[in-house]
Structure 1
């Protein structure tokens, strides 16, 4: 007479299967842990090199900003707060960066949209025009814009012949010329992320919106534009951050009337040989940039969480 196991009890074979599964799971976790350790070991030289190149100079820079006449002091940062000249320098720097970013966005978004909509040789040619500035030295481009924008330059000449102006317009040695030239240099950093983001958009979603009765304009603003925002955000950050620390264009086309943080850092070192003051300016600029990245990251994270919650 056989004895049947109680209801709910596991048979010996089932227990062995569960033990085997548990052992396999532990082995898999251990293998994954070992793999991560091996990957970390392989990446350690590169991480140490990046730390030596990037972090060590940054730590040295921060420490130098607190040294005045060989002793620890907050004098450099106090000078930034109390001296109005530094305030004007920061205002000009951020005003220039914002102007360049807005202009790059206004020019870059339609350009990226056009390139994302065409294919074949036309797309290649348009993309080559976007990448063309990368093939020319920044200094060469700066002096080219200086020639184009001067009072007897090509642009003033064309405007005079068309009757749009009565006399040459001052386009160099001022804020306008610096903005135009910097936008030309930084425009590819706005266009390229936008192209990547736009080409990743599923065209079936656009067709679905149109088939449901939405107009092309409404489809663009409610479907296409929100989906292209990741590329737009990336491009805006790239342009804005680089514009904050740009030196060549304001130096050559500003004519001394546009003072940026980068130019002030150079003058503090060249004229006054004050490394502490220059270091404090650099630390504030790096801190501002890092704070900007953190704010944008938080906004994007909250937006993703909101979209996920809305989707559920």
Structure 2
């Protein structure tokens, strides 16, 4: 296999607040290959977005990266100066933010916002940048691009604003696109259109995508590989098909059990009971242990990340941070028959 485009190791990010230090990300590791769509999924506060924003040092007030390396095509992003990292943002790594209305400048036309990105990173003239903006609008299927680039953000619908964000993120043909909850607050039809557009652009442009979401349905429809986060750590990692066919971590199983199944109308949902941990003082062992229906005494000790070469219970492509993956652990309880 070719070397990964991005290799993140032992990322730890915390937020210092008046109420204490929030350990938002605790030792996250990931790899991303060219042309791959990697999904990051988990509940709110699991560390998905903070992991991605740490890569570009776009942390909210109080955020600090305390350790880690992020090898991007031979360069450690986390060791770059702010000036050097600014050249990477928007150029080689593009970002689609969760809320287009807060990410777009309401006082500028959308065309001008694309033009400024191009003039900053590509050093081309204004006319050439405007022509490129029209091409980008065509690429993301915004109707009447020649006139729409002169509109302001509030003149677009929610779905069209998200397409504008995608156009801006693609302006410099990035190697990686970070899509942070790109379909939040959009209706189901528009969600599917945006997800289909992302896959089409990946296939056409060959870029890699990190897709952040709390929705496993979005992951199933779009991603190639998925990482499940909880309590600032990766709980499980697998190709999407393997994760849905044979989930290993109890948290992953809980998430899947909570998805409504139209084939089983009337069946009560099985939510993951309990509350996420207080990340100012997370549990000493597995962060999911206080909510886990299969917790054991050893779960008070941090579990290692098992992979398919270390555990006969995992597929070769799977990794699970759970003591149940240990061959000596009690065998998993069979799922009840429907």
The structure with more strand, counted as a fraction of residues: 2
- Higher RCO (C-alpha under 8 Å, 6+ residues apart): 1
Bigger radius of gyration among the two? 1
Which bracket does the TM-score occupy, shorter chain normalised? under 0.3
Q: TM-score, normalised by structure 1?
A: 0.21
Instruction: Tell me the TM-score normalized by structure 2.
Output: 0.20
